[in-house]
Structure 1
Amino acid sequence: MVKANDPIVALPFEIHLGHVYIKGQVNDGRPINVVFDTGAAANLASEAVAEEIGLTVSGEQTVLGASGPVTIKRSTNNDLMLGDDLKLKNQTFLVMNLDHLGDEDYPLDAVIGANVLNRYTVEMDFEKGLINLFTRNNFPAPEGYEAHKISLVPFNVPKIDASLLLEDGEVITGPYLVDTGAALALRINSPTVREKELVDKVTPNYKYTSKALGNEATDYIGRLKTYEVLGQKFDAVPMRMATVRNGVSGRSDINGILGLEILKRFNTIYDYKKQVMYIKRNSLFDQPYRENKSGLKFKKEDGALTVVNVIATSSGEKAGIKLGDIIVSVDGQKGMTHDECVAYLSNAKGTVKLKIMRNGKAIDISLKPASLI
């Protein structure tokens, strides 16, 4: 906690599905789940919540997502309540389908970022699970933190320089967007991937398709030897290599995106007025990276974990798991959330016993999770 100033408001948060969840309220609606995302240049609201609380749509707006431009409905003149006391008035929300970012256990109702960061100095304390908002005027340099200059051009999203170190000794340096809304460690933009032939150099790797802001995107995922950023070195980092030609990840003036899997290892203060990012290593610094060792992607639907993707050559495919299979139990444990199941399979040291339902029939499957990279 920064002691030189008292925060205007302290917002408790939890990390689920690789995102930072806080509680909020739009207009006079019910409490909703809001993701705090430094990569969000605009507020977003899910179509379901917009319909439920009656947001008035007043036009459309085209925004640049990770994989290309997306035209989205717009709702203006809304109130956003954060915590018990802080009300932000005249807020604009872009209304779109956000179902792919959340699930039944952790529905994702809205996303905020730049509209808060432009008004306040923001501290993200990942050890205490708190986002503290401070007045921007005369905010003092905090003790015990390192200061790093950031640029907010061209997206009003923090940008810093970082370096990739490949196995052959090649070093690739360039700018990266600081994006707490990215549920990954590192994603390299497609022009850098093509120019530096990273798919051929960072091996083994595998192909993975996911949905970004309004579009599907295919990446190759491999393990980078070393990543240097914010004065720190990270070894054996899982790295996504983009293939899209459009959107943020298709731009040649940015090398990539730095995501939550690295950013959560620091307590961080964003001071947009001074264009400075203060960091301090925290107790999560040496935590293992989240890694999909089962090759399965789940989504909680109708109270059950349903398999929505099976990566080719993964342990999940080798075990015979198929799209649409419902996970009933994992080593006898029932009712797991998405996060609990992914963590259990990632940390498993041996064979895991799964009970699944397929076309109404119960099937026992033995799965031995193993890294694909």
Structure 2
Amino acid sequence: MNNLIVFPIEVNGKELNFILDSGVGATILFNINTKDSLQLNNVKKIKLKGLGSEEAIDAILSKNNRFSFKNIVSQNQNLYVVFDDSFDLSSKLGLTIHGIIGYEILKDFVIKINYNLKKVTFYKPESYNYKKCKKCETFNLELYKLKPYINIGAKLDPLTNEITPVKLLIDSGGSDAMWLFENTHPNIVVPKKFFIDFLGEGLSGTIHGKRAFIKGLVLGKFELRNPTVSFPDSISIANALQFKSRNGSIGASILKRFIVIFDYKNEIITLRKGTSFKEPFRYNMSGIELAYNGKLLVKEQDYSNIVLSNKEEGVMKSSVVLNYNYKYTFKPTYKIFKLREGSPAYRAGLQENDIVIKINGKYTYNLKLEEIVEKFYQKENKKIKLVIERNGKDYEYQFELENMLK
């Protein structure tokens, strides 16, 4: 979902779903409830500060925990537990996410990620052999506070091919292509064409900023043309700016275009073009951010016990009789949790907290969240028809996707 890597890890014997997030040094749990029955060892209360415009939040530090993943076992692991309900990735992604893990697993293995095959392979560093690869490019990593940074180039001036050197955090847990921080380099300025957008949620609240395109991103011999870039507001990234030489980050929308090999032991990362390398960069042109909104009991025809009959008293008939029953099934519902002001959906009259019942004639409860969101990234002028529920009544809306960066 959103090009993010989700996999199960057992924590003290309890299986939980984690996002592989190279942008975090600490392992963080944030969706634990009573039914998870997780045992935490050696705990103490602390404060955590992350991206977002709000204050530090209450958390628990737990030490000496046991992590296991298939035949991989790691003892004495530290983790942080956040109980703030507002930081809820599960509803945004449409599947249960219990936490994020980065350095604690990346430091012990060479990890190869093939986004197209949705495959992650773990290798022991001492036994991993690098093959000669003329189509690959290897970069040095700088590990600062347990997070990986890469030095690459950005084409920021639309009228020239000047390459500006930038130091970027490699953030596999961020679904955007690229963030750049204003005022960290004289050439890093917001392009003339931009719009204000919701960029995501951090530990310390909502992140807003400006969204635009730049001319290109240069990674050695690879060049990505016209990537989307976000310029987060300075309040939201105050914590990130503590690393003075950092200019921004690259996220999963960049990484998914490569086969990626992380090697923390040797402090290098290797990239090879993937099959989606030349895919155009897109963004959500609807202005709608959807979230999971609980389950709905839906009445459906049950075809599992259908009886087909084309015979009556030994005589063949031309008709077929279907005998079926009904069944009731819990299905997912989705709501608009953010709506970009001035966007096509906003101008059409949609509102935050509207429950989306249908999209382009299809009931949303038969679709995954990812399948719905993908429709907002289609080509410009694509028509979107929605049936929504608001205050117990159904309403129909229609709008066209609009490229606000032309």
Task: Compute the TM-score of the two structures, normalised by the length of structure 2.
Answer: 0.80
| Corresponding position of 2:170 | 178
Q: Among 130, 136, 147, which residue is 1:146 paired with?
A: 136
| Corresponding position of 2:89 | 101
Which AA in structure 2 matches 1:33? N
Which residues in structure 2 correspond to 1:1-373 (within 5 Å)? 16-29=1-14, 31-49=15-33, 52-56=36-40, 58-61=43-46, 65-67=50-52, 70=56, 72-83=59-70, 85-96=71-82, 97=84, 99-103=87-91, 105-137=94-126, 139-144=128-133, 146-165=136-155, 166-169=157-160, 171-192=163-184, 195-196=186-187, 198-199=189-190, 201-208=191-198, 210-245=200-235, 246-249=238-241, 251-302=243-294, 303-334=332-363, 335=365, 336-347=367-378, 350-373=382-405
Distance 2:404 2:126 in 1: 49
Give % identity.
17
CA RMSD in angstroms comes to 2.4
Compared with structure 1, are the counterparts of its residues 251 and 320 closer, same or farther at alpha carbon in structure 2 (3 Å cutoff)? Answer: farther
| Corresponding position of 2:318 | none
Compared with structure 1, are the counterparts of its residues 120 and 49 closer, same or farther at alpha carbon in structure 2 (3 Å cutoff)? Answer: farther
Does the aligned pair in 1 maintain the 2:3–2:256 contact within 8 Å? no
Displacement of 1:49: 4.8
Which AA in structure 2 matches 1:228? V
Which AA in structure 1 matches 2:89? L
Displacement of 1:208: 2.8
C-alpha deviations, 1:192-239, integer Å up to 9, x for none? 37x54623x342333435321223222111111111124311112110
Does the aligned pair in 1 maintain the 2:178–2:249 contact within 8 Å? yes
Does the aligned pair in 2 maintain the 1:191–1:252 contact within 8 Å? no
Does the aligned pair in 1 maintain the 2:208–2:233 contact within 8 Å? yes
Displacement of 1:365: 0.6
Which AA in structure 2 matches 1:112? I
Distance 2:140 2:188 in 1: 28
Does the aligned pair in 2 maintain the 1:206–1:372 contact within 8 Å? no
Q: Secondary structure at the match of 2:290?
A: strand
Distance 1:154 1:61 in 2: 22
Distance 1:50 1:191 in 2: 45
Which AA in structure 1 matches 2:183? P
C-alpha deviations, 1:222-266, integer Å up to 9, x for none? 111111124311112110002224111564310110100010111
Does the aligned pair in 1 maintain the 2:141–2:269 contact within 8 Å? no
Does the aligned pair in 2 maintain the 1:189–1:251 contact within 8 Å? no
| Contiguous gaps of at least 5 residues in structure 1 | 1-15
Which AA in structure 1 matches 2:269? M
Q: Secondary structure at the match of 1:289?
A: coil
Compared with structure 1, are the counterparts of its residues 76 and 208 closer, same or farther at alpha carbon in structure 2 (3 Å cutoff)? Answer: same
Q: Secondary structure at the match of 2:215?
A: strand
Does the aligned pair in 1 maintain the 2:181–2:188 contact within 8 Å? no
Compared with structure 1, are the counterparts of its residues 309 and 95 closer, same or farther at alpha carbon in structure 2 (3 Å cutoff)? Answer: same
C-alpha deviations, 1:151-192, integer Å up to 9, x for none? 333222221112221214354212111111111000012433
Q: Secondary structure at the match of 1:167?
A: coil
Alignment coverage as a number of residue pairs: 354
Which AA in structure 1 matches 2:10? Q
Distance 2:169 2:96 in 1: 26
Distance 1:133 1:211 in 2: 29
